[in-house]
């Protein structure tokens, strides 16, 4: 019975309704493709908390400019976003029977010496 409950909770954690939306307000110029002049790779990790199997809130907006402004200048390229659950995220979800539903993300960008010198 315990195995069935754990398997059910694991399945729910993988199929929940949470949604992370990544937006920009235009403060940082974001080029989708990597430029040859970009030599430095920046990674920013974050986490958002959802509740009730990801139903509350149904969507979180993550502002790329707000997440990146302290690490880059005003110009980045080669943006890649990874949205995932860590092992500890899954364990926390299963242990709370889905009431606590953390989601992790990683924003990876490139910048060169022209990007503001930060």
The β-bridge relationship of strands 100-111 and 75-84 is antiparallel
Q: pTM for the full model?
A: 0.74
Q: How far apart are CA 63 and CA 40, in angstroms?
A: 21
Evaluate if residue 37 carries a pLDDT over 80: no
Q: What's the mean pLDDT when you consider all of the chain?
A: 81
What's residue 93's pLDDT?
87
Sequence-ordered list of residues with C-beta below 8 angstroms from that of 7, at least 6 positions apart, any chain: none
Is 73 in a helix, a strand, or coil? coil
Q: What is the mean pLDDT of residues 46-72?
A: 85
Q: What is the mean pLDDT of residues 37-57?
A: 85
What's residue 118's pLDDT?
44
């Amino acid at each position: 019975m315990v195995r069935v409950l754990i398997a059910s909770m694991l399945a729910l954690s993988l199929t929940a309704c949470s949604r992370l939306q990544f937006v920009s307000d235009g403060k940082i110029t974001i080029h989708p493709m990597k430029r040859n002049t970009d030599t430095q790779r920046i990674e920013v990790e974050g986490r958002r908390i959802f509740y009730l199997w990801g139903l509350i809130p149904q969507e979180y907006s993550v502002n790329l400019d707000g997440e990146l402004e302290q690490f880059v200048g005003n110009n980045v390229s080669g943006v890649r976003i990874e949205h995932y659950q860590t092992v500890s995220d899954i364990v926390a979800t299963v242990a709370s029977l889905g009431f606590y539903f953390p989601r992790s993300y990683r924003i990876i960008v490139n910048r060169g010496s022209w990007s503001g010198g930060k």
